[in-house]
């Protein structure tokens, strides 16, 4: 069975090294927008998310990854018969690795010249949803590895090299916890910014 990685990153640092590892171990790659273009620039193939889901990306990229083929591929466990039957009936393929880093909300919010609309546009919706889905699946089923920072690529690549492309349950669960820490921090940053903004409106 083919293994799939979904990659959607605002920070493209370290992507080439990760792609080399994934290609070596036979991963199919799903991606979108600027990430897909970067992957192709680096000499690797990537299926566009809109092609994969059969649902076109909306204007301004507001709707890309919020689709059952994405979230079902992350959340459902193909080793369980009911899940497997549902996936087969709905054309959902498992996604084994999620690599996401979020829109740079904090960086944008910290810029003194940034307009309110620009800051709000950098509130990531699909990214945290995918991260949480993958992290939950990792903790429940041990099926998905979720990677949220370029600094983690080396650890993933090293483990894959040692195991022939596998990631241990221990590593998956450790990264799942880090993923929830990341989304929690992100939400707090949004809350803090918006509370300050509301105060300024008074």
- Domain edges within the chain: 3-201
CATH class in words for 3-201: alpha beta
In the prediction, which pLDDT does 156 show? 95
Share of the chain above pLDDT 70, in %: 100
pTM tops 0.85 = yes
pLDDT at residue 64 in the model: 84
pLDDT, mean of residues 43-70: 88
Show the beta-strand stretches assigned E in the chain. 3-9, 27-31, 47-48, 97-101, 145-147
What is the helix (H) or strand (E) element at residue 171, kind and residue range? helix 169-201
Phi and psi dihedrals of 156, rounded to 5?
A: -65, -45
Q: What is the mean pLDDT of residues 114-135?
A: 95
> Which helix (H) or strand (E) segment is 87 a member of?
helix 81-90
Percentages helix, strand, coil for the chain, rounded to the nearest 5? Answer: 60, 10, 30
- How confident is the model over 152-196, as pLDDT tens digits? 999 999 999 999 999 999 999 999 999 999 999 999 999 999 999
């Amino acid at each position: 069975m083919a293994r799939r990685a979904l990659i959607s990153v605002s920070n493209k640092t370290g992507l080439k090294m990760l792609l080399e590892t994934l290609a070596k171990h036979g991963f199919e790659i799903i991606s979108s927008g600027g990430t897909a273009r970067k992957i192709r620039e680096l000499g690797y193939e990537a299926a566009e998310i809109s092609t994969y889901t059969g649902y076109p990306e909306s204007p301004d990229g507001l709707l890309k990854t919020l689709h059952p083929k994405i979230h079902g591929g992350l959340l459902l466990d193909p080793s369980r018969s009911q899940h497997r039957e549902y996936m087969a009936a709905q054309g959902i393929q498992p996604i084994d690795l999620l690599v996401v880093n979020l829109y740079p909300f904090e960086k944008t919010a910290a810029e003194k010249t940034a307009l309110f609309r620009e800051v709000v546009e950098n509130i990531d919706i699909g990214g945290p949803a995918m991260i949480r889905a993958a992290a939950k699946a990792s903790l429940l089923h041990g099926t998905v590895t979720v990677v949220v920072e370029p600094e983690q690529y080396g650890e993933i690549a090293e483990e894959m090299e040692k195991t022939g492309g596998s990631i241990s349950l221990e590593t998956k669960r450790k990264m799942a916890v880090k993923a929830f820490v990341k989304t929690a921090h992100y939400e707090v940053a949004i809350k803090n910014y918006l509370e300050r903004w509301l105060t300024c409106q008074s």
